[in-house]
Structure 1
Amino acid sequence: MTFQRELKEKWRVEYTEMGFPAVQKGWVLPVERWRDFDPFILMAEDWFKKGTFPDHPHRGFQTVTYVVDGRLEHIDNAGGREILEPGDVQYMNAGWSARHAEDGVEDDIAHTLQLWLNLPKDQKQSGTLYQNVYQEDAPVISFGGGSVKVFSGNIAGVTGPLDSIVPITLTEWTMGEGASYTMSLPENHNAFVYVLAGEAEIGVERQKMSKHEAGLLTFRENGGEDSTLTIRSKKRRTKVLVYSGKPIREEIVPHGPFVMNSMEEITQAFEDFRNGKFGPPAV
């Protein structure tokens, strides 16, 4: 029988008021639990204005940034400059040496979800790259009372445009009251859900989740088949994000803007940045 995903645990995100130009922050996935979330390291939910995240470096991991509201300007030191709007996603492979800035636009308060995705040890020296996925370019699966937008992975024969070094799935579920949908996921993918709006029931056991709640799903790490995930909406407007990825199972050291496999490698990353090996500032 096909493995049916259920909600393993859930928690409500707690938020902290920040000092200007930052506004508010919450840890959807707290970094100290990265072993439970593997291959995901953390996910931060931020509200911020221009000047919060100026030029800064990264090494050893990837980011997937979903814009909830406002506008987000991305600038990198390879000449990239883009403005992302609500529903858009940006993927970055920091690899060896990313240097960029992320800011609100003009007087906007940018509201974002930024996921940190680990890289295997043999990919931490890979080349830096960026990919913008605009919401209108992500294919949509429609069903009675709702739709699923596919940003990454292959869902129901539909492939999302986001092409990460570590393959993941990322889908956005938009549902009206009473709507239900069942989706296939690789059973060996660790997966979590985050409710952006409304109220949903997760799995065949129909465990309830509401806005600002995140939850880990059950999975079979050694499985090689597909599993199913069923979500039902209990409100008129429900929006849920579902992320999944195969665990890497390597020890890591998340420290500041870097994620490496040892503290020695972290020290080397800071030294390389001070010595200009990450290139010029992103301005």
Structure 2
Amino acid sequence: MTQTSRFIREIKDFWYPTYNQNGYPHVQQAFLLPPERQQEFDPFILLAEDWFKRGVFGDHPHRGFQTVTYVVDGRLEHIDNAGGYSILDAGDIQYMNAGWAARHAEEAYEDDLIHTLQLWLNLPKALKNTETSYQNIRLEDAPVVAIEKGFIRIYSGEFLGVKGPMNSLVPITMTEITLYEGAEYTHILPENHNAFLYMLAGEMTFGESSTSLNKTGVATISYNEDINASKESELKITAKTRAKVLIYSGVPIREQVALGGPFVMNTREEIMEAFQDLQRGVFGPPAIKK
């Protein structure tokens, strides 16, 4: 496939989040992808950015979706009721398939102020009752590919012949792209992937329109949803300053979505069933450090 045949992506919409100052222990919070707009983000449900001390995200349940938690700073302590325990550092990621019944805790370790980005990734109806699983991806486990005047860290998907380690039940791509001032780079994505980005640092322009985004900018990206995944598309990126961006993409599921607290199902009846199962003990014992 020649480069000229590729679909050229542009910024579709962009915004800057409003941060809620919650006080101790949930110091600051924002929805970078607001859940009320989830139809636009399919297969993604929401992206939350949080700064918190210990005592915010203790034992809690999930069903019907996946999470991808990226540690920006601090140490994140994970505990689940299947006996799992880990501490994640800056640049580490935890992938969780909640499946039919996850119960876990995500706390700041000791006296840290933890800063995280947590993505909720939907599951199709056929996979909502799958077994719960967790995968820790350490910073050093995510391969880094050098490009001219920068580099790409690949958490999920394949780029420049290198595959990321994330084993998502619903395949997605996730890359962290760092560019030096003046660098130009063309990011290649499957044409039928819905995609969005979040600016971690600096200033970049995107697409032929050269739409400029600074730190904390969020944007959705145009795509061709009627094409199969074998066709490629490209997004032109130029760094106005030393800058870093996260780019996520995935194939839309196109199913009805019902949101209810910690659960993502297809109907309100299934949400009520999940709450009843929690009360009946189906989710198992609390996630408590042994």
TM-score by length of structure 2 reads 0.96
**Separation (CA, whole Å) in 1 of partners of 2:120 and 2:28:** 19
Select the residue among 224, 241, 257 that pairs with 1:235.
241
Post-superposition CA distance 1:50-69 (Å, at most 9, x none): 11100000000000001111
The one-letter amino acid paired with 1:269 is A
Select the residue among 152, 155, 159 that pairs with 1:155.
159
The one-letter amino acid paired with 2:200 is L
**Separation (CA, whole Å) in 2 of partners of 1:195 and 1:97:** 33
The one-letter amino acid paired with 2:246 is L
The one-letter amino acid paired with 1:74 is H
Select the residue among 40, 64, 67 that pairs with 1:63.
67
Post-superposition CA distance 1:137-178 (Å, at most 9, x none): 111110122101000011121110001010000000111111
How many percent of aligned residue pairs carry the same amino acid?
Answer: 58
**Structure 2: segments with no counterpart, 5+ residues:** none
Partner of residue 226, structure 1: 232
**Separation (CA, whole Å) in 2 of partners of 1:191 and 1:181:** 17
Post-superposition CA distance 1:213-267 (Å, at most 9, x none): 100000000112110122111113x110000000000011111000011111001
Runs of 4+ in 1 over 2 A off after TM superposition: none
- Per the TM alignment, residue 183 of structure 1 is displaced from its structure 2 partner at its CA by 2.0
**Separation (CA, whole Å) in 2 of partners of 1:80 and 1:19:** 30
The one-letter amino acid paired with 2:287 is A
Partner of residue 282, structure 2: 277
* Secondary structure in structure 1 of the residue aligned to 2:59: strand
Partner of residue 268, structure 1: 273
Count, aligned residues: 282
Does residue 257 of the first structure (1) align with residue 262 of the second (2)?
Answer: yes
**Separation (CA, whole Å) in 2 of partners of 1:76 and 1:221:** 37
Partner of residue 190, structure 2: 186
**Separation (CA, whole Å) in 2 of partners of 1:241 and 1:158:** 17
**Separation (CA, whole Å) in 2 of partners of 1:241 and 1:159:** 16
**Is the Cα–Cα contact under 8 Å of residues 156 and 183 in structure 1 kept in the other structure?**
no
Partner of residue 181, structure 2: 177
Partner of residue 119, structure 1: 123
* Secondary structure in structure 2 of the residue aligned to 1:108: coil
Partner of residue 205, structure 1: 209
Select the residue among 167, 172, 197 that pairs with 1:168.
172
- Per the TM alignment, residue 19 of structure 1 is displaced from its structure 2 partner at its CA by 3.4
* Secondary structure in structure 2 of the residue aligned to 1:22: coil
The one-letter amino acid paired with 1:16 is N
The one-letter amino acid paired with 1:14 is T
Partner of residue 95, structure 2: 91
**Separation (CA, whole Å) in 2 of partners of 1:203 and 1:150:** 21
**Is the Cα–Cα contact under 8 Å of residues 194 and 213 in structure 1 kept in the other structure?**
yes
Higher strand share: 1
**Separation (CA, whole Å) in 2 of partners of 1:175 and 1:183:** 12
**Separation (CA, whole Å) in 1 of partners of 2:172 and 2:41:** 13
**Separation (CA, whole Å) in 2 of partners of 1:229 and 1:141:** 18
